[in-house]
Amino acid sequence: MPAPEHAPNRSNHATTIGWSLAGILLGILTGAIGTVLHLNSYWTGSFGLPWGVVLALVIAWLAQWWIGLRSVSIVATGLTGIAQYVTLAAMVALNQGNHFSVPLNDQTWEFVPHLVIATLAWNIGIVAVTLLSLIQLARTMRRTKAELAANQSYLTPAVGPWDKQ
């Protein structure tokens, strides 16, 4: 009697490509949303509180974290962050009216410093969030693999009197 064959495994290569494309699309979407949101602020009368950049960075981080957990792929997470940054650069470069960015000059620093800070925080924040997401995902994957290796009881079937019948 021949040994039973194992079921064929899904292609990891095709799965990685699929999740990478999903990460790029999610990065474009969340990068556009964040770029539109990041200049929103609450004006208190004497200074502005840039709440939009905080929300934009949280959205960017959640998108990267979600795609990382769903795909279990650092590549997909990194591509999501890269797509977010490329979307920011494209939206700022293609729109010459400064609707998605603030010029970094003496006048803007004097009159609307909170918008300059929001622009800098969004530009630098995407890179920082991407690096932190990659580190966080790598640690989560390493911890999960260690927990699975330590607890392999699910691989061994329970043996009891009913199994010997």
- Report if residue 154 sits inside a domain: no
Is 75 inside any structural domain?
yes
45: pLDDT strictly greater than 60? yes
Q: What is the pLDDT of residue 37?
A: 93
Based on the structure, what is the number of domains in the chain?
A: 1
Neighbours of 105 (CB within 10 A): 9
Q: Do 126 and 88 contact (CB within 8 A), yes or no? A: yes
Greatest CA separation found in the chain?
86
For residue 69, the enclosing domain spans 20-139
- Look at residue 105 in the predicted model and tell me its pLDDT: 77
Cα 147 to Cα 75, 140, 143, 144, 161, distances in angstroms: 23, 10, 6, 5, 30
**59 part of a folded domain:** yes
- What is the predicted pLDDT for the residue at 146? 84
pLDDT in tens, 144-153: 888 877 777 6
Higher pLDDT among residues 26 and 117, named by residue:
26
For residues 59 and 140, the answer to whether their CB atoms sit within 8 Å is no
